[in-house]
């Protein structure tokens, strides 16, 4: 049976199109039988939700062409690196969005998504994740979170030993971050607070719990076979 051609049902946010460190994390494996690469799980769901046959509007489309221009006229995109459904997009916007979404699959990102925000005004649900992000940034007082998401290694990384990630020193420089980069992350936080964003989070959590349950069942089955042998 032939596999479908990638262009038959392309994704606006294809799996693996992320910043370099995020790409590397998708390759993680573990000898732990019940371990699940939840970053890979959420990255594949993000890919699926942005495919040509996915319900409209696509998440990336909403963020780039509705939310961001609605916040500031300067965010309006008239030219891009490519067109998708007749609309222009910048590849960097998508790599940043995908990297942040993938971070939600980490332990820290899981807490960000699921821990309730105390004192949030329920009449403004779209602000919930914006406020959570602002509070999270205060906890990361040693590092600019957007610089972390946008990081691309430079020669300084190998020489700077203050911050470590993947057992390798990295220098997270705000100079790598543009005003638009910050607007992209802000747009994602606003989208998460909407109905579509909350549905995406719920789908991811359900998939994650099912994957973890399947992994536990596989280990139990293997244990039973060993006992019976």
Q: What are phi and psi of 172, to 5 degrees?
A: -90, 100
For helices 195-228 and 107-114, give the axis angle rounded to 10 degrees: 130
216 belongs to a structural domain: yes
Burial 148-178 (b: 16+ CB within 10 A, else e): bbbbeeeeebeeeeeeeeeeebbbbbeeebe
78 belongs to a structural domain: yes
10 belongs to a structural domain: no
Please report the pLDDT score of residue 160 as a whole number: 54
Please report the pLDDT score of residue 164 as a whole number: 46
26 belongs to a structural domain: no
Domain that holds residue 84: 35-228
Give the pLDDT of the chain (229 residues) as one tens digit per residue: 557 777 888 999 999 999 998 999 999 888 877 789 999 999 999 999 999 999 999 999 999 999 999 999 999 999 999 999 999 999 999 999 999 999 999 999 999 999 887 766 766 888 999 999 999 998 887 778 999 999 888 887 866 555 444 445 677 888 889 999 999 999 999 999 999 999 999 999 999 999 999 988 887 877 777 777 6
71 belongs to a structural domain: yes
152 belongs to a structural domain: yes
Both structure tokens of 214: 């399947």
Please report the pLDDT score of residue 213 as a whole number: 92
Please report the pLDDT score of residue 89 as a whole number: 98
pTM summary value: 0.90
76 belongs to a structural domain: yes
1 belongs to a structural domain: no
Q: By C-alpha distance, which of 171, 4, 182, 164 is closest to 92?
A: 182
Q: How many folded domains does the chain comprise? A: 1
Please report the pLDDT score of residue 120 as a whole number: 67
């Amino acid at each position: 049976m032939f596999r479908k051609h990638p262009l038959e049902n392309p994704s606006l946010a294809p799996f693996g199109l992320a910043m370099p460190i995020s790409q590397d994390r998708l390759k993680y494996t573990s000898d732990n039988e019940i371990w699940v690469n939840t970053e890979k799980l959420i990255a594949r769901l993000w890919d699926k939700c942005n495919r040509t046959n996915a319900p409209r509007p696509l998440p990336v489309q909403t963020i780039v062409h509705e939310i961001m221009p609605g916040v500031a006229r300067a965010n309006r995109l008239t030219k891009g690196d490519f067109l998708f459904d007749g609309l222009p997009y910048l590849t960097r916007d998508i790599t940043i969005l995908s990297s942040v979404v993938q971070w939600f699959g980490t332990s820290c990102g899981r807490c960000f998504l699921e821990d309730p925000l105390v004192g949030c005004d329920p009449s403004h649900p779209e602000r919930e994740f914006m406020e959570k992000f602002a509070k999270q940034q205060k906890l990361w007082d040693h590092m600019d979170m957007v610089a972390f998401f946008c990081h691309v290694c430079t020669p300084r990384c190998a020489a700077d030993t203050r911050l470590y990630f993947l057992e390798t020193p990295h220098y997270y420089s705000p100079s790598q971050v543009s005003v638009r980069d910050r607007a992209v992350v802000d747009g994602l936080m606003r989208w998460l607070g909407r109905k579509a964003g909350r549905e995406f989070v719920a789908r991811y959590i359900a998939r994650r719990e099912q994957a973890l349950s399947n992994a536990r069942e596989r280990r139990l089955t293997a244990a039973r076979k060993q006992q019976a042998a």
